[in-house]
């Protein structure tokens, strides 16, 4: 990766103005990407991104950095495929190395039902532009020799879908590159500025109240993770979101010899290796709705046991650290993007188990919606009014794990 000469990230901090055309609440990947694409694609630069802590402090800094488009329904495959392609160009476009690396993702099936699901996934993916194929246990053994094909004698490997374009990127670098790109075009980013409420004029949302005074806005976009319901309630918008904690952990360093991303629906975990050599392991959400980001030992016990069933070499490693983020879960496991029915208030939420992979496409499409006032076809199926219209985008494969 020597084509990138590393320069310091150039971030220019300015004082908050009293009014902006667009105010984006939440300085994570989705908020910053929306600002970035508003500035670079549509020339809308009178934009502020307001972040309570520091940019990337929330789920953009807690996710497991996986980029993939092997979803289970056509609408999702098209959307995430767009995101995957944007990620592939993002380093060249921003001039920033994001440690983007194509790895290939094996989604293992251990039951006949699982095999049918993975075959279906491969078919839907292929039909809508994502590169996924079904592979047999023998091929799995060739792709990733460290997998115990007997599954510890309990969960035998019967097959897998192999998503060739599955990739990872360094999450902090994505956040910084987007922030830098947006700032260079004149977007204001304010850290340590907490939005405490919304300003309303009749039904319309006309700005935000912050702990440093009100800021007027032509349009407010909520790109917050976790606390979106609280914000939306102030606009009088009801959301189909439940907030659940999600935990993950890394082990100590291991030789750089684990090239793929491996996931298992039955064992409910997924694993990849970071550039430092740590094995990065995540699982499903905690079952109780909660805003707490405390981690627990029970999760470690459970998840590491399941991971070792499939990857016995993990048993010699030690757990280095664990963390928790809070996820916005929608009833159909698909995101909720776009208008809310309240003038001047837009949301991008429901990113389930963290939404890192959707950052570029989510930002690009939301920027187009804000700039043109028309919902782009790619995200139209994910509008909030789909629930009232009985057009839910049920995709269990979407946010079940990572």
Partner 1 sequence: MNISIPCPHCGPRPIQEFIHGEIPVVPDSITDEEERDLDRAFMRENREGVITERWFHTFGCRRWLTLKRDTKQ
Interacting residues with partner 1 (CB under 8 A): 227, 229-230, 238-243, 245, 286-292, 294-298, 324, 331, 387-388
Residue (274 or 290) nearer to partner 1, CB? 290
DSSP for residue 256: S
Residue (63 or 243) nearer to partner 1, CB? 243
Residue (284 or 368) nearer to partner 1, CB? 284
Interhelix angle 359-372/29-42, nearest 10 degrees: 50
Output the smallest distance, CB 296 to partner 1, in A: 4
DSSP for residue 222: E
* 167-168, strands of its sheet edge to edge: 66-67, 167-168, 101-102
Residue (135 or 337) nearer to partner 1, CB? 337
Output the smallest distance, CB 72 to partner 1, in A: 20
Specify whether the CB–CB gap between 113 and 65 falls below 8 A. no
Output the smallest distance, CB 214 to partner 1, in A: 22
DSSP for residue 107: E
CA dihedral 67, 70, 74, 77 (to 10 degrees): 20
DSSP secondary structure string for all residues of 36-75: HHHHHHH----EEEE-SSSTT-SGGGTS--EE----SSHH
As separate numbers, helices (DSSP H) first and strands (DSSP E) second, the chain gives 9, 19
CA distance 169 to 65: 6
Interhelix angle 359-372/171-184, nearest 10 degrees: 30
Output the smallest distance, CB 380 to partner 1, in A: 19
Specify whether the CB–CB gap between 144 and 260 falls below 8 A. yes
Q: What tokens appear for 153 in the block?
A: 């004698």
CA distance 274 to 281: 10
Residue (324 or 401) nearer to partner 1, CB? 324
Output the smallest distance, CB 194 to partner 1, in A: 14
Residue (188 or 332) nearer to partner 1, CB? 332
CA distance 193 to 196: 9
Output the smallest distance, CB 283 to partner 1, in A: 13
Residue (118 or 286) nearer to partner 1, CB? 286
Output the smallest distance, CB 330 to partner 1, in A: 9
Specify whether the CB–CB gap between 320 and 199 falls below 8 A. no
Residue (126 or 295) nearer to partner 1, CB? 295
Output the smallest distance, CB 151 to partner 1, in A: 22
């Amino acid at each position: 990766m020597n084509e990138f000469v590393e320069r310091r990230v150039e971030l220019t901090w300015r004082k908050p103005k009293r009014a902006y055309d667009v105010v984006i609440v939440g300085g994570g990947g989705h908020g910053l990407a929306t600002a970035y694409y508003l500035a670079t694609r549509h020339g809308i630069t009178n934009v502020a991104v307001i972040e309570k802590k520091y940019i990337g402090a929330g789920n953009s800094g807690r996710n497991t950095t996986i980029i993939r488009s092997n979803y289970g329904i056509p609408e999702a495959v098209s959307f995430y495929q767009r995101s995957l392609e944007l990620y592939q160009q993002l380093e060249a476009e921003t001039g920033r190395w994001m440690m983007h690396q194509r790895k290939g993702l094996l989604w293992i099936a251990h039951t006949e039902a699982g095999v049918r699901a993975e075959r279906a996934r491969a078919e839907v993916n292929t039909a809508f532009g994502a590169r996924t194929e079904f592979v047999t246990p023998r091929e799995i053994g060739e792709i990733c020799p460290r997998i115990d094909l007997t599954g510890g004698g309990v969960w035998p490997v019967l097959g897998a879908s192999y998503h060739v374009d599955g990739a990872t990127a360094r999450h902090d670098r994505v956040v910084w590159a987007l922030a830098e790109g947006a700032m260079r075009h004149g977007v204001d980013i304010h850290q340590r500025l907490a939005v405490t409420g919304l300003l309303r004029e009749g039904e319309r949302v006309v700005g935000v109240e912050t702990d440093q005074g009100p800021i007027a806005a032509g349009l407010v976009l909520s790109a917050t993770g976790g606390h979106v319901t609280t914000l939306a309630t102030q606009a009088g918008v009801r959301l189909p979101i439940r907030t659940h904690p999600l935990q993950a952990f890394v082990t100590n360093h291991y030789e750089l010899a684990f090239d793929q991303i491996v996931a298992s629906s039955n064992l409910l975990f997924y694993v990849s290796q970071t550039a430092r050599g740590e094995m990065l392991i995540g699982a499903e959400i905690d079952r109780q709705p909660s805003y707490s980001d405390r981690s627990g030992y029970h999760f470690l016990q459970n998840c590491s046991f399941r991971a070792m069933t499939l990857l016995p070499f993990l048993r010699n490693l030690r757990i280095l650290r664990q963390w928790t983020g809070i996820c916005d879960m929608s009833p159909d496991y698909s995101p909720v993007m776009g208008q809310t029915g309240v003038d001047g208030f837009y949301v991008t939420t429901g990113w389930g188990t963290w939404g890192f992979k959707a950052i570029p496409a989510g930002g690009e499409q939301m920027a187009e919606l804000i700039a043109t006032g028309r919902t782009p076809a790619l995200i139209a199926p994910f509008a909030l009014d789909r629930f009232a219209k009985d057009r839910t985008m049920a995709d269990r494969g979407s946010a079940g794990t990572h």
